[in-house]
């Protein structure tokens, strides 16, 4: 999801402004009241309205707190990648000059991961929390303030099938790594003794264990994911790794305007795009 917090690259497709095949694009006055907290993000290019999921209460409450405090007022969209996502929320970006490297700023704390997957996934318009990489953040804690809105692209069924197979292989490898860890001393002794037969036998046993463990909970895209990713699009390779805590309900056309601006070093827009204010819609 790489500058600082969010890394991975992807590409996506353009949708029309008024109809997002499932992503709502109503005006504020016509947004249905479904009991979820909604926030209007007023940017220098227009308004975006997002709703926050109740199943991710830590992220919801923190976002509302920062919005009320005015934390986001004046922050830049500091990382924009076409057909992938737009990212903001770095407090250090306020009034930052063009040569300032951004992406590490925040309120001084992280938020415990609330990954509600597969119910919430990286469809176009999803609101998710940025974070540092697994190597330094194994618990996948979210940045205290930085977030991104998914744009992504649409995939064919064959492309999703290939991606599903790749993800399955990755999950199996992760399981294998965890199974191998307790045997490292034994493996080193076998290597020192040049016990190739013993190494081969142990290797086959551990691989079989990993495959059996994976088969207890094999990975597959849900019908909802398949529908979204083959129509409106998104970034499926991020699923299950970042906390998705809301979605855009109005102003996706503004998101697309931001997505398509000219960018320079570290994917920062050449002309600053900022959040002017946030308003909690009661």
The answer to whether position 224 is within a domain reads no
pLDDT value of position 81: 98
Vertex 269 angle, CA 268 and 274, to 5°: 100
Q: What is the pLDDT of residues 5-24, one digit of tens each?
A: 444 333 333 333 333 334 43
The answer to whether position 270 is within a domain reads yes
| CATH code for position 247 | 2.40.100.10
pLDDT value of position 35: 84
The answer to whether position 53 is within a domain reads yes
Query: Does 48 share its domain with 142?
Result: yes
Mean pLDDT to the nearest integer, 47-64: 98
Q: What is the pLDDT of residues 162-205, one digit of tens each?
A: 999 999 999 999 999 999 999 999 999 999 999 999 999 999 99
pLDDT value of position 132: 96
pLDDT value of position 32: 63
Q: Tell me how far the alpha carbon of residue 53 is from its chain's centroid.
A: 15
Query: Does 183 share its domain with 237?
Result: no
Q: What is the mean pLDDT of the chain?
A: 90
pLDDT value of position 24: 39
The answer to whether position 16 is within a domain reads no
Number of domains in the chain: 2
Contact assessment for residue 25 and residue 17, using Cβ atoms and an 8 Å cutoff: yes
Q: Which domain holds residue 198?
A: 158-215
Query: Does 92 share its domain with 172?
Result: no
Any idea which residue has 């016509």 for tokens? Answer: 30
Query: Does 114 share its domain with 247?
Result: yes
Write down the pTM of the prediction.
0.83
Contact assessment for residue 72 and residue 66, using Cβ atoms and an 8 Å cutoff: yes
The answer to whether position 104 is within a domain reads yes
pLDDT value of position 11: 35
Flag whether pLDDT at 31 surpasses 70: no
Domain edge (last residue) among 182, 215, 248: 215
Q: What is the pLDDT of residues 77-133, one digit of tens each?
A: 999 999 999 999 999 999 999 989 999 999 999 999 999 999 999 999 999 999 999
Q: What is the pLDDT of residues 135-145, one digit of tens each?
A: 999 999 999 99
Query: Does 121 share its domain with 183?
Result: no
Mean pLDDT to the nearest integer, 71-77: 98
The answer to whether position 1 is within a domain reads no
The answer to whether position 221 is within a domain reads no
């Amino acid at each position: 999801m790489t500058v600082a917090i969010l890394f991975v690259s992807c590409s996506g497709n353009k949708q029309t402004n008024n109809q997002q095949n499932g992503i709502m694009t109503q005006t504020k006055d016509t947004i249905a009241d479904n009991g979820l907290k909604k926030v209007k993000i007023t940017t220098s290019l227009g308004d975006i309205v997002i709703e926050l999921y109740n199943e991710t209460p830590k992220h919801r409450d923190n976002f509302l707190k920062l919005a009320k405090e005015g934390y986001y007022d004046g922050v830049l969209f500091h990382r924009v990648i076409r057909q992938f996502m737009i990212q903001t929320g770095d407090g250090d970006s306020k009034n930052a000059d063009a040569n300032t490297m951004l992406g590490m700023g925040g309120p001084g704390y992280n938020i415990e991961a609330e990954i509600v997957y597969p119910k919430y996934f990286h469809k176009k318009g999803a609101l998710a929390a940025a974070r540092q990489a697994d190597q330094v953040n194994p618990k996948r804690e979210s940045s205290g303030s930085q977030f991104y809105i998914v744009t992504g692209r649409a995939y064919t069924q064959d492309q999703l099938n290939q991606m599903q197979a790749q993800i399955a292989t990755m999950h199996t490898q992760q399981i294998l790594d965890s199974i191998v860890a307790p045997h490292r001393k034994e493996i080193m002794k076998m290597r020192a003794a040049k016990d190739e037969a013993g190494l081969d036998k142990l290797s086959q046993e551990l691989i079989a264990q990993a495959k059996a463990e994976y088969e207890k909970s094999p990975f597959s895209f849900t019908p909802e994911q398949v529908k979204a990713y083959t129509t409106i699009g998104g970034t499926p390779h991020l699923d299950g790794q970042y906390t998705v805590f809301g979605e855009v309900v109005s102003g996706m056309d503004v998101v697309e305007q931001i997505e398509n601006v000219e960018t320079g070093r570290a994917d920062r827009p050449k002309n600053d795009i900022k959040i002017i204010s946030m308003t909690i819609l009661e």
